Structure 1
Amino acid sequence: MQDRMMNGFEEIVREHGKAIFNYIFSLVRHKELAEDLYQEVLLSAYSAFDTIKEPAKIKNWLFTIAGNKCRDYWRKENKAKQFWKEEVYSYSSNVEAPPLPEEEVLHKYSVEKMEETVMSLPEIYKSAIFLYYFKNLTLIEISKRSNIPISTVKTRMRRGKEHLRPKLQFLA
């Protein structure tokens, strides 16, 4: 039984392995990292191989595992970056000097001008841009709050930015 399962898994790896590796590489764009994640995908797939109920969907199942492994890696990577940003630098002995009053005024002016410019957008784009940049909501939160699909939120964000770009040349 174990031998037959091993042969079946090897056949699947021969058939889909290259496509899975290429998929992982397309997501992470780093060969060694892609190889490591590919190995993790194969280990996970092998350990759950006997639970497959629909052999016809094995390729999709492998791609799902690969996508999840990449997502897990990114989450772990972001947490490490967040740690360095928040924890390590907060213990740093280098204390920054407070901004000069002129810098504070210029920054406040820029933020006010930016907000003014966003508020001049058509309503359909204004709410998505405002909630994202000024209220720090995620795209999913905006989607739920506005009761519209996330793809619509993304489209409105993109189009809103296109409207803003020429108006914000003065801040650059």
Structure 2
Amino acid sequence: MLLGINELEEIMERHTERLIRLAFYYVRDLQSAEDIVQDVFIKFYDNQHNYEERGELKAYLSKLVINKSKDYLRSWTYRKIQVQQKIFAKKAIIRRDMLVQQDEQTLIENAILELPLKQREVIIHFYFEEMSVVDIAELLRIPVSTVKTRLRRGRELLKPKLQHIEWEVLLHE
């Protein structure tokens, strides 16, 4: 079944904000995250015949965004931007828009953004996407034990950064 423009617009309305947030957690740049999500929707529309409705569309789109984000992080463009930021912008101001809220939420998200990618992605999927450990393992194609280890290590890395904040995730450890 091929989607029409109206169905695509409905899918975009339902998933865009969440997918931009997901891409942002990977690439740490709002403009790049928006570009990645736009590219994913274009790719999804152009190649919709490859999508089989066996699984959930949310998971399928998330996987496309994750793969596109990882491709971006490996790209020459990303490395060039990193070098430019180090040279020209020691005190870069990051535009947060509506993706990142105020006060403690901003501190928590900034601490998560500083985590290494492997720990950051499982923390994001587990707490923000509310995925189970098994679902994360399937999505990332890694063993369940690896997901658990990365979650534990991610929490350990967050604790010192967030010790003055009562984030319930760290209180119950």
* TM-score using structure 2 length: 0.41
Bigger relative contact order, structure 1 or 2 (CA pairs below 8 A, ≥6 apart): 2
* TM-score using structure 1 length: 0.41
Instruction: Please state which structure has a larger fraction of its residues in helix.
Output: 1
Which entry has the higher C-alpha Rg, 1 or 2? 1
